[in-house]
Amino acid sequence: MRIDKYLKVARILKRRETGKQLALNERLFINEKAAKPSSEIKVGDVVRIVFGHREISFRVKDVKEHASKQEAFEMYEVIEEKKNEVV
């Protein structure tokens, strides 16, 4: 599954377009490599997203085309979430 679609289905981001823009601006990484919106995601991948002064890393546990709200939260596990200070 494409990373931009996965982020929407897993309810990490509200819109697929947001995932696309993060990837195009090199703020989306899969296994520490910059991702394109069409990059394929699979179980076990570690994804890192940098938005503004916030950064989140999570591991993909499941990949589904459609997911209910409860199933969406079971599709990934957060590894680290941090807020970067403004200097």
- Position 13 confidence tier, pLDDT thresholds 50, 70, 90: very high
Q: How would you classify the pairing of strands 54-60 and 76-83? A: antiparallel
The three-point CA angle 21-22-27 to 5° equals: 150
Q: Is the pTM of this model over 0.75?
A: yes
| In the predicted structure, residue 39 carries a pLDDT above the cut 90 | yes
Pairing outcome for strands 54-60 and 28-30: unpaired
The CATH H-level superfamily of 3-83 is RNA-binding S4 domain (3.10.290.10)
